[in-house]
Structure 1
Amino acid sequence: MSSPLPHATPAIWRFEAIGTRWEVGSAQALTSDDRAAVADAIETFDRIWSRFRDDSTVTALAHRGGAVAAPADTDLLLSGLTDIADATGGAVSPLIGGVLARRGYDAAMSLIDRGAESAPPWRDVLSWTSDALSLSRPATIDVGALGKGRLVDLVHAVLAERVSGPLLVDASGDLRVSGADLRIGLEHPYDTSRAIGVVTVSTGAVCSSATNRRRWGDGLHHVVDARTGEPVRTIAATWAFAPDAMTADAIATALFFDGGPEIALRWGVEWVRMTTDGRVDWSPGSPAELFMRADTVAS
Structure 2
Amino acid sequence: MHIGCHLSSSGGFLAMGETALSIGADTFQFFTRNPRGGAAKPFDKADAEALNAFMDAHSFAPILAHAPYTLNACAADPSLRQYAQDVMKDDLFRMDHFPHAMYNFHPGSHVKQGVDVGIELISQHLNNILHKDLKTKVLLETMAGKGSEIGRTFEELRAIIDRVELSEKVGVCLDTCHVFDGGYDIVNHLDDVLESFDKVFGLKRLRAIHLNDSKNPMGSHKDRHEVIGGGNIGLEALVNVVNHPALKGLPFYLETPNELPGYAAEIALMRSRER
Could you say which structure has the larger radius of gyration? 1
Fold equivalence (TM over 0.5):
no
User: Structure 1-normalised TM-score?
Assistant: 0.25
Which one has a larger percent helix, Structure 1 or Structure 2? 2
The structure in which a higher percent of residues are strand is 1
TM-score between the two structures when normalised by the length of structure 2? 0.26
